[in-house]
Amino acid sequence: MRTDGHPFSLQPPRLTALLAVGFLLLVGCATSAPAAKAPAAPTAPVAIPGPATSSGPNSHALLLFEDANKAAEAQAKSGNRDDATLERRYQAVRDADPSFAEADYNLGVLAERQGKQDQAFAAYKSALQKKPSLKPAAEGLARLTQSSGDLPGAIAQWNDIARAFPDDANSRAQLAELYRITADHDRAQEFARQALIRDSRNLSAYKTMLRSDLDRKQYAMAELVGVRALKISTTDPELFLALGDVQMAKGSPDKAIAQYQKALEVKPDYVPARLALARLALKDEDYGAAEKYLSKAVADGGGTAEVHLNLGVAYRGMGQVDKALAEYDAAQKLNPKLAPVYLNRGIVLQRYKDAPDQSLELYKQYVLLSGGESALPPDAPVIALRREAEQLVAAKAQAKTVEQQTRTLQDAQKLQQQRLRDAEAAQKAPPAQTPPAKEGDKL
């Protein structure tokens, strides 16, 4: 994930897409020579019938591998994904020949797309140990290293790939983006140029150059790079998103919206464009539009903690505070350390639920997660909100005291009134009469 909030092209691979477009070739007498150019998505070899040799997989493993590839192709065409079945098939290949590196690699692909990062890493590492020339396995390791947050480790691994494959453009494009993320723009631009020298149509390199120019506020250069990139592709949503961000940086939100809309035209489920439009809607306090964009983003699989938080803000703006609280709960479950969740929940409890005491506890948590009191700017909204909540708590406490005093006084008055009524009743009662004496009674 980019540090600027936009997704980067290094996404987990899809074996289905890979198997539909082609494979690395594994001939009967398998060699260790690398493929001339690996597709962007991880690829798998096809078993070509032929005699097994001592330098390659045995014939039984080749046949099992061919069957596994056919099953994967069939799944890709039908759209019915069954990773468990494919895992069993490729595991059978590995059992038949433990030296079969491509079987390990495909098991890594399957694990990665299921989110099993450690298992995928181990499979890619095993594949690379068995066949050092298997570039997709090395790329898989670098990709997983980056996704774990170890950017220096990822840079080192992509540099190893670039050195091992001098004509490879992709590794240099990935290095360019990594250097951009770490704010080393000179190296970012240099590696992007190296990638374009090797592949003049490498769109990733162009997008990194554009983003680098944007980061450095070189907007004219960024637009120029964008024009060149559009000559290569007019169907890449990331490109339109980046061009929209350039317009936002230039202070032209209307032009930015047009670019974000183009991103959705080429890819209707492109979540980052929806989020960009939602941010603009929230800024304009168009909460209905923001809710529409954010709800669709969640439906399209983009329900991050930040998205749920902003959806809660939209619901609050629409007056639907219970839905807002539900979205804040969802955001907190995804990221308990997302400070604005506590601030926004506190606002709802303070303004709509008459619970300023609970708000103060939430504001305290917000300040803590934001770095403490010293990290707050003088005009931080939480300062005024906290003061208001404290005043409300004090007012409620005073009102409660007054209420108790009033109730005590009323009770005392009622008691006094009851005593007076009892006294009056006693005075109005006739005096008791002495009964007449009877004969024989003694005086």
pLDDT one-digit tens code per residue, 66-89: 999 999 999 989 988 899 999 999
Q: Are residues 182 and 231 in the same domain?
A: yes
The confidence score (pLDDT) of residue 3 equals: 34
The confidence score (pLDDT) of residue 51 equals: 37
Full residue range of the structural domain in which residue 41 is found: 7-165
Q: Are residues 155 and 14 in the same domain?
A: yes
Q: Is residue 158 part of a domain?
A: yes
Of 23-32, 201-210, 334-343, least confident by mean pLDDT is 23-32
Of 31-35, 61-65, 135-139, 403-407, least confident by mean pLDDT is 31-35
The confidence score (pLDDT) of residue 424 equals: 82
Which is it for the CA torsion 57, 59, 60, 64, positive or negative?
Answer: positive
Q: Is residue 1 part of a domain?
A: no
Residue where one domain finishes, among candidates 228, 250, 265: 265
Rounded distance between C-alpha atoms, residue 46 and residue 430, angstroms? 119
Q: Are residues 353 and 282 in the same domain?
A: no
Q: Are residues 315 and 341 in the same domain?
A: no
Q: Is residue 424 part of a domain?
A: no
Tell me, what CATH number does 59's domain have? Answer: 1.25.40.10
Residue where one domain finishes, among candidates 134, 165, 196: 165
Q: Are residues 176 and 261 in the same domain?
A: yes
Q: Are residues 146 and 119 in the same domain?
A: yes
Is 90 exceeded by the pLDDT of residue 341?
yes
- Regarding beta strands 45-47 and 24-26, do their DSSP bridges make them parallel or antiparallel, or are they unpaired? parallel
Number of domains comprising the chain: 4
Rounded distance between C-alpha atoms, residue 252 and residue 263, angstroms? 17
Rounded distance between C-alpha atoms, residue 225 and residue 365, angstroms? 44
Q: Are residues 388 and 317 in the same domain?
A: no
Token pair for 108: 């890594």
Q: Are residues 254 and 387 in the same domain?
A: no
The confidence score (pLDDT) of residue 435 equals: 66
Phi, psi (rounded to 5 degrees) for 224: -65, -45
Is 90 exceeded by the pLDDT of residue 373?
yes
Q: Are residues 106 and 218 in the same domain?
A: no
Angle at 175 between CA 169 and CA 177, to 5 degrees: 105
Q: Are residues 11 and 140 in the same domain?
A: yes
pLDDT one-digit tens code per residue, 86-143: 999 999 999 999 999 999 999 999 999 999 999 999 999 999 999 999 999 999 999 9
The confidence score (pLDDT) of residue 423 equals: 82
Q: Are residues 94 and 206 in the same domain?
A: no
